[in-house]
């Protein structure tokens, strides 16, 4: 019996080669290369701290930071303060994003509203958060409300800008098609505008969460009785630099994990786009 040769499309072969190259061996090599520089930095850092070449009050050694992390974790204080920060950040980002979606949608859909509202918002957008934070505290006090407003203020503008630009960027030819098909305003919005604007909206949401997380740092460092920022401020008062570094690392790691979570949702929602490959 004669065997038949089965050929695969070039695109399939390319994909298979890519999977082979990025297999377990490729991932291991990539990880080793990526971890090389941080490992060297940690070794030199620990050597400088152990030999007394750097004052521990200015730059505590990695081992001291690790011991502080373990101590705070075992006492439960780290997780309690982290929970306060996550709840605070989630609340601020939620309200800021909700306001951005509503106002951004109205501004993007209405030329009249855009001319009236957008110039003032653009001016406010260019104002640094550190400049507005004292005003917000002056108006709302040092309580929880001011912190939520600071976080929401930081989260508002990235999503607002993405919302407006995504709506304005919808292809006018597709709009004409919906008019020919006699789509009403609501149907045009749900069938065309929102699906076409969804990639930009999700990108804006990703930035919104990132800026809201940065707003959390500002809010908690300016004055708070709970949260990772409070933990860092308390450590500064008591000359515990290793705890300050623990707080910085927690802020960085949680920010990255939150960003990865948003990217995962973005990939799932945009599977229908052939051009989308994730970031």
Q: For the chain, which residues make up each domain, given as ranges?
A: 67-269
Q: Which fold has domain 67-269?
A: MetI-like fold (1.10.3720)
Neighbours of 272 (CB within 10 A): 8
Closest CA relative to residue 205, chosen from 276, 269, 155, 256: 155
Rounded to whole angstroms, how far apart are CA atoms 121 and 97?
Answer: 15
Non-local CB neighbours of 136 within 8 Å, separated by 6+ positions: 146, 149, 150, 153
Angle between helices 24-50 and 62-75 (to 10 degrees): 100
Query: Are the C-beta atoms of residues 277 and 266 closer than 8 Å to each other?
Result: no
**pLDDT tens, the chain, 279 aa long:** 444 444 445 444 454 455 545 455 566 677 677 778 778 888 888 888 778 777 777 788 888 888 999 999 998 888 999 999 999 999 999 999 999 989 988 888 788 888 888 888 888 888 777 778 888 888 887 788 888 988 898 899 888 888 888 888 776 666 666 666 656 666 666 666 677 777 788 888 888 888 888 888 888 877 778 888 888 888 888 888 899 899 889 988 888 888 888 888 777 777 655 544 444
Nearest to 144 by CA among 266, 65, 230, 32: 230
Structure tokens at 235: 């450590």
């Amino acid at each position: 019996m004669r065997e038949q040769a089965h050929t695969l499309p070039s695109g399939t072969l390319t994909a298979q080669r890519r999977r082979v190259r990025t297999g377990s061996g490729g991932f291991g090599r990539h990880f080793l290369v990526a971890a090389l520089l941080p490992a060297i930095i940690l070794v030199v850092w620990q050597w400088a701290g152990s030999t007394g070449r750097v004052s521990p009050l200015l730059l505590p050694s990695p081992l001291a930071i690790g011991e502080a992390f373990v101590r705070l974790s075992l006492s439960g204080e780290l997780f309690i303060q982290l929970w306060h920060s996550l709840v605070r950040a989630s609340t601020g980002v939620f309200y800021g994003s909700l306001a951005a979606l509503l106002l951004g949608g109205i501004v993007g859909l209405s030329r009249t509203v855009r001319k009236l509202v957008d110039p003032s918002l653009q001016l406010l957008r260019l104002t640094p958060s550190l400049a507005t934070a004292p005003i917000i505290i002056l108006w709302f006090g040092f309580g929880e409300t001011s912190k939520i407003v600071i976080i929401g203020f930081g989260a508002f503008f990235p999503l607002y800008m993405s919302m407006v630009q995504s709506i304005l960027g919808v292809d006018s030819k597709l709009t004409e098609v919906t008019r020919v098909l006699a789509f009403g305003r609501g149907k045009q919005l749900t069938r065309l505008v929102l699906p076409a604007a969804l990639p930009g909206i999700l990108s804006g949401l990703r930035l919104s969460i990132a800026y809201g997380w940065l707003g959390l740092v500002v809010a908690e460092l300016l004055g708070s009785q709970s949260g990772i920022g409070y933990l860092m401020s308390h450590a500064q008062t008591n000359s515990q630099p290793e705890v300050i570094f623990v707080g910085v690392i927690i802020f960085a790691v949680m920010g990255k994990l939150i960003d990865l979570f948003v990217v995962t949702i973005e990939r799932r929602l945009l599977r229908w786009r052939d051009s989308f490959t994730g970031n």
